[in-house]
Structure 1
Amino acid sequence: MDLQQMRYVVAVAETRNFTRAAERCDVVQSSLSHRIAALERELGVRLFARSSRRVELTRAGEAFLGSARDCLAAADRAAADAAAAAGVVRGQLAVGVIVTTAAVDVPELLQRFRGRYPEVRILLRAGGSDELAASVRAGELDIAFLGLPEGEEPAGVETLALDHDEHVLLLPARHRLAGAGRVSLREIAGETYVDFVAGTQGRAQSDRAFAEAGLVRDVAYEAGVAELMPRLVARGLGVALLPSAFIGPLAAADPELVVVPVTDGPRRVEHLVWSRFNPSPATLALLGVLGVRGRTPRA
């Protein structure tokens, strides 16, 4: 058994197609199929159930896949560590991002990073703060940008607070409060709300603020993606509380939307988090580009 056979198995498992897997691995399909068949003979089990139209992992294949991915990740990390010791940063950098990230211009950051470390492959994943933090702890992501309620710290990871921000009220332009200079939570508690899905950190920020004020509100629309919320508000379906740094520029470009400050509204902190245990050379390189001192590898 060798690493290339493992890569072929992972590619077939992820594409569910031998032809697409061969294209991904830059090899002819007959060679990929032959190597997987040889591995199955060596293991004494079938890893894939095949037909003319379908390819699926067998139970043995499912058991093999997780360990194969771990082995490949370890091999890639070993190669990256060796290269870093020689002054070259390469490998993969897996970055998690919440969609409301505003403290850092992530595309601009990655542009600068790529300019300095062109041999690093970058994998981007969007998600909720809890999900991304858990992925960093599990080693599935190298680094992540999170947003948490003020006073709450990510657990089990290295963390750097990037920015503090206040939520503002997002209204349709024809709303009765559109001309208000400032409002309080009590004044807007009776509104119909558009918000994130219950149980997420994005939702928790506003839920906590209303609960601490002893107020109850009606969340009639739950959105899994932040980009949908302004569109719902613009249609007059409700109002929303969103971080000012994220929503301000979007609202300024849309005449159907108005932003009003909230005196006692939710506050959030944007965090950068990464693994406490042996961060990869690419992770240290990104921290260096961000200006986090003492963690910059040689370029």
Structure 2
Amino acid sequence: MELRHLRYFLALAERLNFTQAAAQVHVTQSTLSHQISQLEDELGQRLFDRSDRRVTITAAGELFLTKAINALAEIDNGIALMNTLNKDLSGELRIGTTPTLNMEVVPRCIAQFTEDHPSVHILVEEETGDELISGLRAQRLDLVLAYRPLVLEGIVFEPLYTEEMILVVGERHAFARRRRVRMAELHRRELVLPPRKFTTRQQIDEAFTAVGAQPFVVIEMVSLAAILALVEQTALAAIVSRSAWRGRDGLYAIPLEAPTMTRMPGLIWVDGQPRAPAVAAFASIVRGVAKSSARDHLEWSRGKSAPNPRS
């Protein structure tokens, strides 16, 4: 089935006259008749009853008509949105994201977006995943870039890539030159972690529970930049996504195992919610940056057996 079949079908359903419908879609009457017959053969149903004097739509045609109208409306809206991307976008774009993704991924995306669309005013809200989804449902945010939520009811999660959680330590830490660390080895070790309201912290706690380990969480902080700065200046350790570390000088990134923890960032949408041109344009950039991040993570994973896997 092709797009023209639907357009020809709607024209004939509206006019119920082959001559008038053919003129409406700018084809010959014989071409229109042939295309309608092709559509009927593909569907296995007669859509119109034909006689010498008149054309009537069948019951099957009536059922198909509503769906065809909706399908063409969606396609036409999509074409209109794509056409607007070639024009100067303006207005406001409200982005929700998590502290980790706001360290590298989101700034990279915004830098590319503002170069192409300098007239769009951007607002970035940094919160927990649950709070971001609440903002999305309340239409306070246009799109959310966050880790996969536990509950997907009423929302759509578009996965981008997968990255590991790693142990980050400074020069003074006993594990600074370890090739890898098992989660159980962090029992009674001093850590700085995000608060429990973040899903990252919940995942870390579950991993410790699974191996029967109880570390000393001596400090809880929201800011990942502050966490990394504190680790660099003390003998504390932290568990963060690899993108948060990003080869920072003065810090050692050590793979964790038994278990290995991974996180999946993605775009989050309200199911069925229309997307404005600016939102669609930003999402396209996010997908491109995500491919680059996925390649970086793969390269790091291949070389992570090195004693000091820093760039």
1:105 Cα offset (Å): 3.2
**Pairing 1:1-299 to 2, within 5 Å after superposition:** 87=84, 88=87, 89-101=89-101, 105-148=105-148, 152=150, 154-250=152-248, 253-254=249-250, 257-263=251-257, 264-276=259-271, 277-290=273-286
CA distance in 1, matches of 2:82, 2:245: 43
| TM-score between both structures, scaled by the size of structure 1 | 0.61
CA distance in 2, matches of 1:224, 1:183: 24
Does structure 2 conserve the Cα–Cα contact (< 8 Å) formed by 1:97 and 1:127?
Answer: yes
CA distance in 2, matches of 1:233, 1:141: 33
| TM-score between both structures, scaled by the size of structure 2 | 0.58
Give per-residue Cα distances to partners, 1:54-77, cap 9 Å, x unaligned: xxxxxxxxxxxxxxxxxxxxxxxx
CA distance in 2, matches of 1:159, 1:119: 29
CA distance in 2, matches of 1:110, 1:245: 17
Letter of the 2:283 partner, please give it.
L
1:141 Cα offset (Å): 0.6
1:237 Cα offset (Å): 4.9
Does structure 2 conserve the Cα–Cα contact (< 8 Å) formed by 1:103 and 1:162?
Answer: no
Letter of the 1:274 partner, please give it.
W
Change (3 A) 1:209 1:140: same
CA distance in 1, matches of 2:232, 2:104: 27
Does structure 1 conserve the Cα–Cα contact (< 8 Å) formed by 2:184 and 2:212?
Answer: no
Change (3 A) 1:153 1:161: farther
CA distance in 2, matches of 1:237, 1:291: 37
Letter of the 1:284 partner, please give it.
A
Q: Where does structure 1 lack aligned partners over 5 or more consecutive residues?
A: 1-82, 293-299
Give per-residue Cα distances to partners, 1:214-264, cap 9 Å, x unaligned: 3322211000211111122223252111112221422xx22xx22211112
3-state SS, counterpart of residue 163 of structure 1: coil
Letter of the 2:282 partner, please give it.
L
Change (3 A) 1:176 1:159: same
Letter of the 2:255 partner, please give it.
P
1:157 Cα offset (Å): 2.1
1:191 Cα offset (Å): 0.4
Change (3 A) 1:243 1:288: closer
Change (3 A) 1:291 1:197: closer
Give per-residue Cα distances to partners, 1:90-123, cap 9 Å, x unaligned: 3211011222118973233223323443442211
Structure 1 consecutive aligned stretches of length 4 or more whose deviation exceeds 6 Å? none
Give per-residue Cα distances to partners, 1:13-36, cap 9 Å, x unaligned: xxxxxxxxxxxxxxxxxxxxxxxx
Change (3 A) 1:104 1:170: closer
Structure number, greater radius of gyration: 2
1:147 Cα offset (Å): 2.4
Q: Where does structure 2 lack aligned partners over 5 or more consecutive residues?
A: 1-79, 289-311
Letter of the 2:107 partner, please give it.
P
1:207 Cα offset (Å): 0.9
Does structure 1 conserve the Cα–Cα contact (< 8 Å) formed by 2:172 and 2:235?
Answer: no
What does residue 26 of structure 1 align with? Answer: none
Does structure 2 conserve the Cα–Cα contact (< 8 Å) formed by 1:84 and 1:90?
Answer: no
Change (3 A) 1:102 1:213: farther
Change (3 A) 1:231 1:286: closer
CA distance in 1, matches of 2:284, 2:177: 45
What does residue 37 of structure 2 align with? Answer: none
3-state SS, counterpart of residue 178 of structure 2: coil
